[in-house]
Amino acid sequence: MDNSAVFLIQTDTTVGFLSKDRKSIDIKKNRLPDKEYLTAVSSFCELKNLTRVPDKFKKLVRRAKKTSFIFNKNNISVRVVSSGEHYNFLNRFGFFYSSSANLSGEKFNDEVARNLADIICEDNRGLFEAESSKLYRLGREKIRRLR
């Protein structure tokens, strides 16, 4: 598998671009290179390799569904996907950087997204725009809902 390939896939929440290489997504979306990315992982072991979850919030992170977390310590954002078709994809190929499947600052357009992607992974659900994940910022002691 080419690490710079950009996948168009129906994630557990909405349609997204996934890639092992951040720069590939930046180029496809005309996105500023200094913007942070969501990292999608399929297991808590992979999460442990990326960051440390504060003790106070371990249970919350473990039980969360369709929720992303930004960790203050290293400013990394992660979503653990624990079931469904998106989980199967991540479990097979490991972690991916994830972004919405649209041009930077614009609404989702199916035709544009298909043209920008290198590989289209469409299952029986098809590709559809849905509600994005909940997003929380976790500090050592505080939690703040961002969306």
SS3 of the chain: helix, strand, coil, percent, to 5: 30, 25, 45
How far, in Å, CA of 146 to CA of 36, rounded? 15
In sequence order, what are the residues at sequence separation of 6 or more whose Cβ sits closer than 8 angstroms to the Cβ of residue 133?
12, 13, 66, 67, 68, 79
Mean pLDDT across the stretch 105-120?
Answer: 87
Q: What per-residue confidence (pLDDT) applies to 58?
A: 92
- What kind of architecture, by CATH, is found in domain 7-145? Alpha-Beta Complex (3.90)
The total of other beta-carbon atoms located within 10 Å of residue 11's CB is 26
Q: What per-residue confidence (pLDDT) applies to 107?
A: 82
Q: What per-residue confidence (pLDDT) applies to 78?
A: 92
Three-state secondary-structure class, residue 72: coil
Mean pLDDT across the stretch 108-112?
Answer: 85
Structure tokens that stand for 134 in this block: 């909940």
pTM: 0.87
123 vs 55, higher pLDDT:
55
Q: What per-residue confidence (pLDDT) applies to 86?
A: 87
Q: What is the per-residue pLDDT across 64-93, written as a single tens digit (0 to 9) for each?
A: 988 899 998 788 899 999 888 888 889 898
